[in-house]
C-alpha cells in the first residue's frame, strides 16, 4: 500500500496535480476470524446488510464497531448484537421515550438554537477516529438514559407539572444534541429525530426489533 501510495503521488505530480496531503489506509475485515474469500463462501454482501438492517445501521456497524486502522472481525451474529444493543435499545428507545413524553406533556415543540460540534468530536473525525467519535455520541445516549432513570420525569409530571415539563424540555434538548452529533454518521436517523422534535411528536420506530422485521 505504501508503494502504491507513493506511485500515486508521482502520477499526480507528473500530471501537474498537487499530491495528496493525507492518505487514510484502513484495516481489513475478517468474518468469524477468517479472511474473506469467495472460494470459502464467507463473503457478507453490504447489500444484504442494508436489506436486513438499513443503511444507517450499516454505517453504524462499521463506524462504531470496526477499527479505522487495524483489522476488524464481523459476522451476522455480531451485526444482530450490535443492532439490538446500540440501535434498538440505544438511540431508538431513547428517542421514542423522550418524544412520547414531549408529545404528551409539552404544549408545543421545544425551540432550540443551532448546534455547533464540540472541538473534541470534530477532531476525532479529522483524525479518522470514527469509532471514538461514535463512542462520544453513545456516551451522550447513556447519560440521557441515566438522566431519565434519576429524575423520573414520567412520575414528576404527575405531582409537579412545571418541574416535569422542565425535565422533559431538558431531555428534548439532549436528544437534539445527540441527533445533531449523529448527522455525519447516520444522516437518515438524525433527520428523522430532528423532524420529530420540530413536530413535537413521537417518531415511528427508528429501529424495529429483528423479530418485527421478519
pLDDT tens readout for residues 187-209: 999 999 999 999 999 999 999 99
Is residue 213's pLDDT more than 70?
no
List C-alpha distances in Å: 1 to 7, 69, 151. 10, 13, 53
Strands 34-35 vs 29-31: parallel, antiparallel or unpaired: antiparallel
- Determine contact, residues 91/196, Cβ cutoff 8 Å: no
Phi and psi torsions of 121, nearest 5°: -65, -45
What is the reported pTM? Answer: 0.89
Amino acid at each position: 500500500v505504501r508503494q502504491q501510495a507513493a506511485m500515486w503521488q508521482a502520477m499526480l505530480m507528473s500530471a501537474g496535480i498537487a499530491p495528496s496531503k493525507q492518505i487514510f489506509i484502513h484495516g481489513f475485515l475478517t468474518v468469524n476470524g477468517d479472511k474473506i474469500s469467495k472460494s470459502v463462501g464467507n463473503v457478507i454482501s453490504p447489500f444484504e446488510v442494508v436489506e436486513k438492517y438499513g443503511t444507517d445501521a450499516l454505517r453504524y456497524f462499521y463506524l462504531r464497531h470496526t477499527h479505522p486502522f487495524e483489522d476488524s472481525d464481523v459476522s451476522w451474529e455480531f451485526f444482530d448484537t450490535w443492532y439490538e444493543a446500540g440501535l434498538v435499545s440505544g438511540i431508538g428507545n431513547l428517542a421514542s421515550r423522550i418524544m412520547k413524553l414531549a408529545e404528551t406533556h409539552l404544549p408545543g415543540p421545544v425551540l432550540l438554537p443551532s448546534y455547533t460540534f464540540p472541538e473534541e468530536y470534530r477532531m476525532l473525525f479529522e483524525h479518522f477516529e470514527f469509532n471514538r467519535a461514535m463512542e462520544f455520541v453513545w456516551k451522550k445516549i447513556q447519560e440521557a438514559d441515566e438522566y431519565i432513570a434519576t429524575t423520573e420525569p414520567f412520575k414528576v409530571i404527575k405531582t409537579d407539572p412545571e418541574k416535569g415539563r422542565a425535565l422533559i424540555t431538558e431531555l428534548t434538548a439532549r436528544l437534539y444534541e445527540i441527533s445533531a452529533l449523529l448527522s455525519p454518521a447516520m444522516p437518515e436517523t438524525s433527520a428523522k429525530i430532528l423532524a420529530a422534535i420540530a413536530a413535537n411528536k413521537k417518531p415511528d420506530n427508528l429501529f424495529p426489533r429483528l423479530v418485527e422485521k421478519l
